[in-house]
Homo-oligomer: A and B are copies of this chain.
Amino acid sequence: MGSPIRSNLQSGARLDLSGYIKGIEASDRIVLSRAITLIESKLESDQLLSDQLLQKLLPKTGKSIRIGITGIPGVGKSTFIEALGSYLTTLSKKVAVLAIDPSSGYSKGSILGDKTRMDNLSKNENAFIRPTSTGGTLGGVADKTREAILLCEAAGYEIIIIETVGVGQSETVVRDMVDFFLLLLIGGAGDELQGIKKGIMEMADGVVITKADGENLKSATQAQSDYHHALHLFASPASGWKPKVLISSALEQTGIKETWEMIEGFHAFTTRNGHFEKQRSQQNKSWFHTAIEGYLKYQLLQDPTLKNKLEKAELQVIDGTLSPGVASRQVVKEFMASISKT
């Protein structure tokens, strides 16, 4: 399988397994970036190589704090992440920022645009910044970003920041792959909670009100109080941790140190009570099962004999002329018949 002759996505000769391993162990950012490209590849031969790579590096993974950061466009996510990342490097921490693109291509331009805005951080040798593709349907967003996290950890990154583009679908997926989930919000402008998709705030371990400077400071402080109240209306999350609400100004560099202290506090608290390890184990288990379903579905979608059948069934399901349950069983049976014929 795989084609013997093909062009490389990246310039330069292709690396073999030990080339990738050595480069990642040496924390070589170019090799790390190419390894992420490798795991995102849909070529069968690349998949085999990336599975070997991931398995080899596995003992070196898991030692970071994984932080998910979300917020609506305009909240100043990139600016905040740059400020937080830069601060962390002054503490001699190595920081990786992975930006998730749930739209699988079409908004890649804008995300890369975001990345180039993190000017200072991207020049910092202790930082690694990279958008990660969803890799189409192969296990969805989670599959490839989760594996990119493992590669960054193996390369010695101690803090991994997963940035969502805040389109609304990726938040729960990101929530399931990080230790700490941070929601960025803006204060002021009438209804303080305008635009917050239902349920997102419920997943947060912490909230930061951004742009808390100058004339915005007063409304940010008001929003802090409102959100604090709103968060505490609900029962505590499984971690036993009480979500905190902070204010921050990237302009005046306030609230950045406090954000990191909050995350460190969460880490210490949940390590002590066992939640940190427990959540990681649960995430691994649920990743495994979701990935089985995703990969099975991927195999089915790849089957050329099923393409028409599937499209037709979906249309009938949507217009109500075919029962979804019946349709799904028909499609799966045809898929299995198709495999056993090969």
| Residue ranges of A at the interface with B (Cβ–Cβ < 8 Å) | 47, 51, 54-55, 58, 62, 139, 143, 146-147, 150, 192-199, 201-203, 226, 230, 233-235, 237, 280-281, 284-285, 287-289, 291-297, 299-300, 313-314, 317-332, 335-336, 339-340, 342
Contact = CB atoms under 8 A, between A and B. Distances in A.
Contacts of A332: 292, 295-296, 299
Contact of A288 (B234, B292, B314): B314
B230 A328 contact: no
B146 A54 contact: no
A339 B47 CA distance: 22
A214 B4 CA distance: 80
Contact of A198 (B196, B203, B320): B203
Number of copies: 2
Contacts of A230: 230, 233
B291 A300 contact: no
Contacts of A318: 281, 284-285
A176 to B, nearest CB: 12
A196 B147 contact: no
Nearest to A198: B202
Given A198-B202, A198-B203, A340-B340, A193 B323 contact: no
A340 B194 CA distance: 54
B288 A327 contact: yes
A181 to B, nearest CB: 12
Contacts of A317: 284-285, 287-288
A30 to B, nearest CB: 23
A326 B55 contact: yes
11 contacts: A58-B320, A146-B324, A195-B235, A201-B234, A230-B230, A230-B233, A285-B317, A291-B329, A292-B300, A293-B297, A339-B339
Given A54-B325, A339-B339, 12 more contacts: A51-B325, A62-B320, A143-B325, A147-B323, A147-B325, A150-B323, A194-B235, A197-B235, A288-B317, A288-B328, A291-B328, A292-B300
A322 B323 CA distance: 39
Contacts of A336: 299, 339
Contacts of A203: 198-199
A24 to B, nearest CB: 14
Residue in A194, A195, A281, A291 with the greatest tally of chain B CB atoms within 10 Å = A291
Contacts of A235: 193-198
A146 B335 CA distance: 24
A139 B285 CA distance: 18
